[in-house]
Amino acid sequence: MQTYAVRVKRWYCKACFRTTSLLPSFLFSFRHYLVVTLQQVVVARYEGRGSWAKVARDCAPQGAPDARTIRRWCDAFTEHAATWLAAMQQTLAEQDAASPLLNPLGQTAGLRDAPPRAVLHAALHLLAWAKTRWAEVAHYGLDDRLRFLWHWGAGRGLGRLI
């Protein structure tokens, strides 16, 4: 595994006495791995319904991230999933009321019991809607949904997803 140093531009606000950073889109705040790695882990765990051993074996072939880190990411994702899902459903209801994600008797009705799985599924609906609105995300695909969610949620003050 190779480690890279990434310089992050930071500014200090003299009015509010806070520091703000411009983080590249391939990184999550406070995480030392790329978004693609984080997504691979949560997708393997929640969509693939993999056991902890299988997720660690499939997502960390060289031993990084370690099994404890993988569990920590999944625990954080589970902890924040319900809040994010509610915000996603609200946006979809306002913008795309016909979305099958909002139909309680539709194909996604069973996802209510599993907010992490529902967030991953809802991300596809939200991304499909966003592609019609913003040219910047027109090229985003299945492997970019957490990156898209991170940007979308940051703009709404949702806080950490993972």
Tens digit of pLDDT for each residue in 27-44?
666 667 778 888 999 999
* Sequence letter at residue 30: F
Long-range CB contacts for residues 28-33, cutoff 8 Å, separation at least 24: 28/150, 28/161, 28/162, 29/160, 30/160, 31/73, 31/162, 33/65
More confident residue, 104 or 62: 62
Give residue-wise pLDDT tens across range 89-108: 899 888 867 776 665 544 44
Q: What is the dihedral of CA 82, 83, 87, 90, to 10 degrees?
A: 50
Average pLDDT over residues 50-72: 87
- Per domain, the residue ranges of the chain are 26-154
The predicted model scores a pTM of 0.76
Which of 20-34, 57-71, 133-147 is the least confident region? Answer: 20-34
Average pLDDT over residues 12-17: 88
SS (H, E, C) the chain: CCCCCCCCEEEEECCCCEEEEECCCCECCCCCCEHHHHHHHHHHHHHCCCCHHHHHHHHCCCCCCCHHHHHHHHHHHHHHHHHHHHHHHHHHHHHCCCCHHHCCCCCCHHHHHCHHHHHHHHHHHHHHHHHCCCHHHCCCCHHHHHHHHHHHHHCCCCCCCC
Confidence bin at 109 (pLDDT 50/70/90): very low
